[in-house]
Amino acid sequence: MNQISQVAYQVMWNRLISVVEEQAQALVRTAFSTSVREAGDLSAGVYNDQGEMLAQAVTGTPGHVNAMADAVGHFIRRIGRDNMYEGDVYITNDPWEGTGHLHDITVVTPSFYQSQLIGFFACTAHIVDIGGRGFGADANSVYEEGLYIPIMKFAERGSVDQTLIKLIRGNVREPDQLVGDVYALETCNEVGHRRLIDMLSEFNLSNLDGISRFIMENSRAATLARINALTPGTADGHMRIDGYTNPIDLHVKLSIEQDRMHCDWEGTSGLDKKGINVPLVYTKAYTCYALKCAIAPDIPNNAASLAPFEITAPENSIVNAVHPAPVALRHVIGHMVPDTVYDALDKLLPNTVPAEGAGSLCNFQVSLRPRSDEDAPEDAVRSEVLTFNSGGSGARPTLDGMNATAFPSGVMTMPVEATEQVGPVIIWRKELRQDSGGGGQYRGGLGQHMEVGAREGHEFDIQAMFDRVDHPARGRRGGHNGAPTTIAQDDGTPMQGKGKQFVPHGRKVIMAFPGGAGYGEPASRSKQQVCSDLANGYISKQMAIDTYGLSSAEASDVLQRSKNGDSI
């Protein structure tokens, strides 16, 4: 490679990353599902003609990382190169060849320049409904989870397959929304393609070969340098979580070797009967994400930077579910993968990874309808409302955990005022949960309280998707556990952490989402930080005394000063 082209390649790599960010932005702007437009549950990427990913937008979903990297290869294989034409658009929601459940639609568009196939654009979005039983864990097989779209052409030479559109429309609860989202996906690839062509003509190139090589060589070298700087070794990680009916054990063996890191999930529990099973591609994504955060956070995702991370799992374990296992809520288990990996990595690479956190997002869907026990008011309506919420993240080796902040997922919550505009739901409470962060030299992040009801005249089903009811986040190096999830109705009626449950007229659901665990002995926490936590109500007086050894008199003094609005 000569020197002149090196500067040009520098510029082009930058440009490709900007192209995919723009592609993702176009999707957010045009999407209909709240999960995409408010929460950012999507991804977008550009590929060379071999289907190798060159750049991926940094969006809210690590779960799409490897899935996206692999997806285009499946499309090339299924569609066939000879069968690809300008103006084609391909689609699938295959959990095993896409991104892990039927609710993610992946759209791939071949990019032609001067009549040659030079690469691909792909994007994925989480849509709110795909028919079937609805978004939840209750299905017994993938057939019950909704409409399945195999890898196929959505459009050929610019003409959209109207039969497919009719099939989609006839099988989902919100057909306008879904078809609108598919067009949004198609539009965003088109935006990316146009920008890529601009770049090629500006640099007077006819294909992506040179820039592909440049990206791959540099990314591979950078990733291997990071891996080879670590001390080789092997360690086991384990975490037990709630599961649906029976607890689930996640086991991983992590080895650091020359030029590669390997994670094997041997020993992990088998499939669950309900829809919380995880296709391997999703397990790979979160395993890889956890490792990259710890050792190579600044290296962008592409085929070469992901390749040195090898992930295997026994078939029909819960982290390698094969067809036709139900997989709709694969995120509940998948979000627990990083904490399990860190249990192992901490033994090889101390002082790097956080203590366990809330892990999976604390999402729920509410299906509201006019009350059935008595006459409902005339303006009572039916409505589906999905919300994304977060517990606390685990404390870090030198920092507290983050309060009510998602990890490993990166999606956003929806504003309460926006949620209440969608349907007759009332969120009565959404605020930080005192004492839920595990004690430690560094405190776990706080979880949150939420209380949900319906407007007068409505009753509802709540579809719960919570873990850590029986298995709270565990502390590291003497740090204490975070608080567990709790859920009940306001009259004390107990509720389950997972599954669809009826809530009668006038009742509210009272939820408390889990806190992150602490790091290091609480006795080592600075008194200043303990007092500040107490003043801000992150911890109670009782916890300040019991866990951190503050004297009762000191605690009372802090509370008095806090009442005066002093900063402490």
- Interacting positions 504-563 with other proteins (CB under 8 A): 535-538, 562-563
Query: What is residue 107's DSSP assignment?
Result: E
Asked if the peptide bond before residue 504 counts as cis, ω within 30 degrees of 0, the response is no
**Near other proteins by CB under 8 A: residue from 172, 328, 404, 550:** 404
Least separation, in Å, of the C-beta of 255 and other proteins?
Answer: 21
Asked if the peptide bond before residue 324 counts as cis, ω within 30 degrees of 0, the response is yes
**Near other proteins by CB under 8 A: residue from 13, 154, 282, 519:** 13
- Interacting positions 31-50 with other proteins (CB under 8 A): 31-34, 37-38, 40
- Interacting positions 218-247 with other proteins (CB under 8 A): 218-219, 221-222, 225-226
Is 489 one of the binding residues for other proteins (CB under 8 A)? Answer: no
Residue 213 CA to residue 486 CA, distance in Å, equals 52
Tokens of 35: 């999960």
DSSP secondary structure string for all residues of 189-254: HHHHHHHHHHHHHHTT-SSSHHHHHHHHHHHHHHHHHHHHTSPPEEEEEEEEE--SSS-EEEEEEE
Residues 6+ apart with CB under 8 A from 464: 364, 487, 495, 496, 497, 498, 499, 500, 501
Total number of residues shown for the chain: 568
Residue 433 backbone dihedrals phi, psi, to 5 degrees: -105, 110
**Near other proteins by CB under 8 A: residue from 7, 162, 231, 553:** 7
Residue 175 CA to residue 169 CA, distance in Å, equals 5
**Near other proteins by CB under 8 A: residue from 20, 28, 288, 311:** 28
Residue 386 backbone dihedrals phi, psi, to 5 degrees: -110, 130
Least separation, in Å, of the C-beta of 314 and other proteins?
Answer: 29
**Near other proteins by CB under 8 A: residue from 197, 210, 347, 428:** 428
What HEC string does 419-470 produce? HHHHCCEEEEEEEECCCCCCCCCECCCCCEEEEEEECCCEEEEEEEECCCCC
Closer CB to other proteins, 57 or 108, in the complex: 57
Is 406 one of the binding residues for other proteins (CB under 8 A)? Answer: yes
Is 14 one of the binding residues for other proteins (CB under 8 A)? Answer: yes
Stretch that binds other proteins, among 16-24, 47-55, 135-143, 504-512 (CB under 8 A): 16-24
**Near other proteins by CB under 8 A: residue from 317, 403, 441, 485:** 403
Query: What is residue 162's DSSP assignment?
Result: H
Is 398 one of the binding residues for other proteins (CB under 8 A)? Answer: yes
Least separation, in Å, of the C-beta of 179 and other proteins?
Answer: 8
- Interacting positions 319-378 with other proteins (CB under 8 A): 352-354
* Burial zone of 495 (CB within 10 Å; 0-12 exposed, 13-18 middle, 19+ buried): middle
Closer CB to other proteins, 300 or 440, in the complex: 300
Least separation, in Å, of the C-beta of 343 and other proteins?
Answer: 15
Least separation, in Å, of the C-beta of 335 and other proteins?
Answer: 14
Q: Contact at 8 Å (CB) between 244 and 137?
A: yes
Classify strands 116-126 and 104-113 as parallel, antiparallel or unpaired: antiparallel
**Near other proteins by CB under 8 A: residue from 30, 268, 287, 441:** 30
Binding mask 156-195 for other proteins (x = CB under 8 A): --------------------xx--x--x---x--xx---x
Residue 426 CA to residue 437 CA, distance in Å, equals 27
- Interacting positions 192-221 with other proteins (CB under 8 A): 195, 202, 218-219, 221
Closer CB to other proteins, 48 or 403, in the complex: 403
Is 292 one of the binding residues for other proteins (CB under 8 A)? Answer: yes
